[in-house]
Structure 1
Amino acid sequence: MSTLSLVYRKAKLFGELVMFSHTLFSLPFAVISMVWAAHGIPSGRTMLWGLIALVAARNGANAFNRVADQTFDAMNPRTAGRHMPRKQLRSKEVLIFVAVNYAIFIGASAMLNTLCLALSPVAIFLISSYSYTKRFTYLSHLYLGFVIASAPIGAWFAVTGHFAFTPFVLGTVVMLWIAGFDVIYGTQDIEFDRSIGLWSIPSYFGLHNALWIAKGMHAIMVFLLLFLYVWQGLGWLYLIGIAIAVLLLLTEHNLIKPTNPKLMKIASYNLNQVISMTILAFTLVDYFIS
């Protein structure tokens, strides 16, 4: 195998490892936050370094999670085919990948402003510690959502360099949205989690109650999106986007069938990627046109 082919193969494996396409969960809300913070289009420099920081932090955190969970992944029939259980990637090279991405994240934060640089070690601790929460609390879903909520909050800091109320509301939207569909995804592993002592809302409360908890999280998420409509003085196009997102969320909850991995992937991942892009598109069109 040529050097070029080897590099391409490794790059492809790492892209699959960190599920790079799932950047669409956090990126749209980060862009919305940047636009609101800048009262328009942020400078090219801020957009560039902000997006580099977001992608690097996300890649590092996902890769670290794969290292931390590789033993459990190997034991779970649903995840035994992942890269690390199959020895397609070694722990050492994945940890190097993590270190490089975290270094890029810190460097990009330094290029933004002092607040982002000062908070970058805190962010690294938070996004890395998620990997261990399922070992001791069923609130791990909310912690995951909290970690991903740092994307719109950090995006606001990247533009303004100071704290504000709006990004924390938008961050709470992201936290509840992510936690809700992570609960849905976790219903596939109820028996496995119980058998080895891992904590999750589905394994702790049972399938029926877990699905109602997920619905409750998404209901509060929608309420907060409507609050932002008033708080930000948004228009009717934003409301159309939220209405479409609600219909997609309802479809997501109607598709749930833990014994059908294909449907669960659609419900937990594919539809949510469409939801985030729908909210982004209608929010931006509303902001710049209406």
Structure 2
Amino acid sequence: MKSESTLQNVLNFTKIEHTAFSLPLILTGAWMGAGNRFPSTTVMVLVVVAAVGARVFGMAMNRVFDRHIDRLNPRTAGRELPSGKMTVSMAMAIAFGGLMVYMSACWILGGWCLMLSPIPLVPLLAYSLLKRFTPLCHFGIGLCLALAPLGAYVAAAGHPGFSAAVVLFSGFVFFWLSGADIVYALMDVDNDRLNDIHSLPAWLGVSGALRVAAGIHLLAWFILAGVVRIMGGGPAAWMALATAAVFLGLMYVPAIPLPKRFFPISTIAGIAGSVAPMIA
């Protein structure tokens, strides 16, 4: 039973299954990098492995850095580190394992992937620290995920000569997730104020933060529309774009519980946005 409990703690801690949150974005970046088609199976597998490793590394370090903050929040106090279900040394070992998986995939891909591989590690390490200093912390997680399609593009293309479409698509990812994180942070507004944690909801209030998030999501949608237009999108692409708009809008329906607005609603908006360029 102890080994099963330890395994369950590791699975809950890493939440590898949430990589599905970013896989459509990565697939789109790789598809663009290969010239609007999918690259070889080997490249795709390595890109996915790198994404999983990077996410485990970022998630583990985030939980290590935030363990004392999480202990103060009733919503997060039951997490593995603040509750004592996992030691810091084990969490660091998991982070190191994720880092090794990521670096190994980049090493096998070689070339530009290996040379540029340290760049995503910087925001992955730093984003969780931003809430200690600035209410703009939500854009840190947006940056982390915005780099994913660019990395997949490099892996598929073999060079960092980014197309206008993938740069714009990365911008869509940045604003989509940053806005979603603002909505997610509404759940902790009172705790953030009590414990001097910086967030836009704590700074601007619920209504002010929602207005900012809505403006950010509107910008994300227009950027995505620009991607579809550049790629000469047909009816299917515009239907995907309309689907993304509907689910972005659902994130602001008060009757929908906040956790559901973040997942699965914001996730579906991101998936629809990822599909749009590939069916353009």
| TM-score of the aligned structures, taking structure 2 as reference length | 0.93
| In 2, Cα distance between equivalents of 1:166 and 1:280 | 12
C-alpha change, 1:11 and 1:173, in structure 2 (3 Å) is farther
| Counterpart residue number, 2:264 | 270
| Counterpart residue number, 1:103 | 100
Say whether 1:45 aligns with 2:42: yes
| In 2, Cα distance between equivalents of 1:282 and 1:186 | 28
Structure 1 counterpart SS, 2:83: coil
Structure 2 counterpart SS, 1:84: helix
| In 2, Cα distance between equivalents of 1:186 and 1:29 | 23
The answer to whether the 8 Å contact 2:135/2:199 transfers is: yes
Say whether 1:156 aligns with 2:150: no
The answer to whether the 8 Å contact 2:176/2:270 transfers is: no
CA offset digits 1:8-58 (Å, max 9, x no partner): 543332222133332232210110111121121201111011110011101
Identity of aligned residues (%): 27
| Counterpart residue number, 1:209 | 208
1:141 is aligned with what amino acid? H
| In 2, Cα distance between equivalents of 1:146 and 1:256 | 30
The answer to whether the 8 Å contact 2:28/2:275 transfers is: no
From 5, 17, 25, the equivalent of 2:21 is: 25
The answer to whether the 8 Å contact 2:33/2:155 transfers is: no
Q: How far is the alpha carbon of 1:281 from its aligned partner?
A: 4.5
2:31 is aligned with what amino acid? V
| Counterpart residue number, 1:176 | 175
The answer to whether the 8 Å contact 2:173/2:270 transfers is: no
- Show structure 2 runs of 5+ residues with no match: none
C-alpha change, 1:256 and 1:13, in structure 2 (3 Å) is farther
The answer to whether the 8 Å contact 2:56/2:98 transfers is: yes
Say whether 1:137 aligns with 2:131: no
Structure 2 counterpart SS, 1:127: helix
The answer to whether the 8 Å contact 1:238/1:279 transfers is: no
| Counterpart residue number, 1:75 | 72
How many pairs align? 277
| In 2, Cα distance between equivalents of 1:53 and 1:41 | 17
Q: How far is the alpha carbon of 1:113 from its aligned partner?
A: 2.9
| In 1, Cα distance between equivalents of 2:86 and 2:80 | 6
Supply the RMSD in Å over aligned alpha carbons: 1.7
Q: How far is the alpha carbon of 1:270 from its aligned partner?
A: 1.2
Greater displacement, 271-280 / 106-115: 271-280
2:84 is aligned with what amino acid? K
C-alpha change, 1:282 and 1:122, in structure 2 (3 Å) is closer
2:48 is aligned with what amino acid? L
C-alpha change, 1:167 and 1:11, in structure 2 (3 Å) is farther
Greater displacement, 113-122 / 134-143: 113-122
| In 2, Cα distance between equivalents of 1:137 and 1:169 | 26
| In 2, Cα distance between equivalents of 1:107 and 1:23 | 18
| Counterpart residue number, 1:260 | none
The answer to whether the 8 Å contact 2:70/2:76 transfers is: yes
- Counterparts of 1:5-20 in structure 2 under 5 Å? 6=3, 8-20=4-16
The answer to whether the 8 Å contact 2:150/2:166 transfers is: yes
Greater displacement, 149-158 / 269-278: 269-278
Q: How far is the alpha carbon of 1:225 from its aligned partner?
A: 0.8
Greater displacement, 113-122 / 224-233: 113-122
The answer to whether the 8 Å contact 1:26/1:149 transfers is: no
| Counterpart residue number, 1:233 | 232
| In 1, Cα distance between equivalents of 2:146 and 2:275 | 19
| In 1, Cα distance between equivalents of 2:120 and 2:243 | 32
The answer to whether the 8 Å contact 2:134/2:199 transfers is: yes
Q: How far is the alpha carbon of 1:124 from its aligned partner?
A: 1.3
| TM-score of the aligned structures, taking structure 1 as reference length | 0.90
- Show structure 1 runs of 5+ residues with no match: 258-262
